Structure 1
């Protein structure tokens, strides 16, 4: 049975361990100790060398027990890093049932609520000697830095039939069954400098070229599954208005649930850039790469059905939705482990107003145990 006081106390403990993204060394040590004490084999991959972050990803494995030996192997994933400002967090439980920081930092429920839930759920499995399938807990670094930890992880570490990320916004019961892939785009326009007052006609303004290219692009909401955005536009030298700017750099992105649509959007942006450069006698370098793949499950997919049944066990209302952002679930789906992202209940994340209801952390722990029970029952039925 979930012990609320113990669970909330552990959550409070975890958020007070500084772990801003790129500086995960302290929290990694704490988590290694906690999961080892619960009987899991804890291993750290070599992603630290690739990412430059404070630790590698932790892969924690608990062998199956009893009837769980015939059940599908389950993976649960959370990330150990937080956004800034995340050092010196002082959490407090208010009379309204919400846990908040003191307002000078974030709270860190994204994603330490998920970590606390996994620890409590595993503790219940151990103390009550419940049957369970093999459980793999993957705790990533650098999720807040663009999923760098999961993207640097070798797929060989994964050993699961179904996966659950505990890392989505929304009320408990939410199931993110789809999320878009993202292409990161870097564009450099090179024109020709000249004196803006003496001989401007001899110059080619990269700012003008880039502006014309952007004006030709279809940006924002392209369709129900596709978006695109110019995130930054910079060039020239502050105060140097007497020089025709000869270089401008743009950083952009495109996202879509459909890979063909994503490719068409990126190519249309490339075409707009190359056309503008050709028209004005400039050059353009257009580079793009896929950050992570998309995923999309129908409501009758086995993983969705199992999740809905588990939610029903604890009286939570299941609601499937399509997310507009990426998560580690995207990466693990790309590696062949069907993974959905479950709502944790946190609110106003990535701000100093972040908060989460204590009762939602408890409810999510109940969901974790219900997922285990459903998996065991599924294995027994098979």
Structure 2
């Protein structure tokens, strides 16, 4: 049902279109033209006004039978750097970068699979419900594209992101809530050799606070990390200003809030005890989602995997994606493994077999949705 050569050629064309995050204009125009020619209604939203990127999210609809379920698929059009001038190498059933750039299989493998899906549905004249494609910008810039989506522009009953690690057949049933803390520790300057006792070291405050925090793996559902610290100038000056950026994640919202409270308390207590000040800003970045294995969005994907001869593998993820944002808007969403390897590196690759399976899976998901709608 999938035209393997056509799919691979589509993927090779897509990865050679420059689309580093923030600079998606060229691929947005290409996809708009391509999808329009395939008969979809395509709309580019105004998220550029919020993101500052060169293109907006694309929302495309393949109209279908109104009596059948409306489903959606989401992928992102941007890549990480270095992603300019990608030269894919195809050998021994593997497609990789030439080692100077990323390949861009994250997430152009998902894009290619969806384009092939549309062609297959048309060629086989499959009776399907309407299908919405949500193709985002800025996923690699902190999900800024999907965070700009409006609920009213999303029409599906449920759907899938094609943007997870793991072989095709991997189904992410849960992903975490995430929040970040920006902390400024304010102390007092003094000469470090003449009168250090007159100073209050912001570096020491930060160190005391960090020592008082639980970090890393908190439990099987919760993690926390200090990602970046900056402060100080000269060794002969007691440092009065340190900035820290940190995050916490959890599959359970209450656990996330507890971890944030503990980290905030440690920062404030260290500052108070040493006569300094902690200025804190907490931002919730994205919501989590969690499905049971017998929820519709999961069972349908499992059946589809079985139909193409793949044993489905459901698991939780510690990472976030556009699936988190859209699920947070009230649309049941699971994230699907695409089969790419070593993403975000110049060793990135994907096997042709996995790319073909990805296309087969989304076609079968549509067919399973049709059967479910007719029951």
Q: Matched residues in 1 for 2:359 and 2:149: separation?
A: 27
Match of 2:145 in 1: 149
CA deviation string 1:171-222 (max 9, x = no partner):
1100000000100110000000011111111110100001000000000000
Could you list the runs of 4 or more consecutive aligned residues of structure 1 that deviate by over 2 angstroms after TM superposition? Answer: none
Aligned 8 A contact 1:179 1:257 in 2: yes
From 246, 250, 264, the counterpart of 2:240: 246
> Once the 2 structures are TM-superposed, how far is the Cα of residue 127 of structure 1 from its aligned partner?
2.3
From 120, 123, 131, the counterpart of 1:124: 120
Match of 1:31 in 2: 31
For residue 148 of structure 1, give the secondary structure of its aligned residue in structure 2. Answer: coil
Match of 1:166 in 2: 162
Match of 2:198 in 1: 202
CA deviation string 1:22-71 (max 9, x = no partner):
01010100010111111100001110110001110000001114xxx322
Match of 2:14 in 1: 14
> Once the 2 structures are TM-superposed, how far is the Cα of residue 372 of structure 1 from its aligned partner?
0.8
From 287, 290, 297, the counterpart of 1:303: 297
Match of 1:50 in 2: 50
- Note the 1:212-227 alignment, pairs <5 A: 212-227=208-223
Q: Matched residues in 1 for 2:210 and 2:354: separation?
A: 44
TM-score normalized with structure 2 length: 0.99
Match of 1:379 in 2: 373
- Note the 1:176-187 alignment, pairs <5 A: 176-187=172-183
Match of 1:321 in 2: 315
Q: Matched residues in 1 for 2:339 and 2:296: separation?
A: 24
Match of 2:288 in 1: 294
Question: Structure 1: where are the runs of 5+ without partners?
Answer: none
Q: Matched residues in 2 for 1:121 and 1:75: separation?
A: 12
Aligned 8 A contact 1:20 1:87 in 2: yes
Aligned 8 A contact 1:70 1:376 in 2: no
Q: Matched residues in 1 for 2:181 and 2:32: separation?
A: 37
Q: Does 1:256 align with 2:250?
A: yes
Q: Matched residues in 2 for 1:224 and 1:325: separation?
A: 13
Aligned 8 A contact 1:38 1:126 in 2: no
For residue 70 of structure 1, give the secondary structure of its aligned residue in structure 2. Answer: coil
Q: How many residues align?
A: 375
TM-score normalized with structure 1 length: 0.97
Q: Matched residues in 2 for 1:321 and 1:30: separation?
A: 34
Q: Matched residues in 2 for 1:161 and 1:122: separation?
A: 19
Q: Matched residues in 2 for 1:197 and 1:171: separation?
A: 59
Aligned 8 A contact 1:175 1:318 in 2: yes
Match of 1:109 in 2: 105
Q: Does 1:136 align with 2:136?
A: no
Question: Structure 2: where are the runs of 5+ without partners?
Answer: none
> Once the 2 structures are TM-superposed, how far is the Cα of residue 130 of structure 1 from its aligned partner?
1.4
> Once the 2 structures are TM-superposed, how far is the Cα of residue 125 of structure 1 from its aligned partner?
1.2
> Once the 2 structures are TM-superposed, how far is the Cα of residue 147 of structure 1 from its aligned partner?
0.4
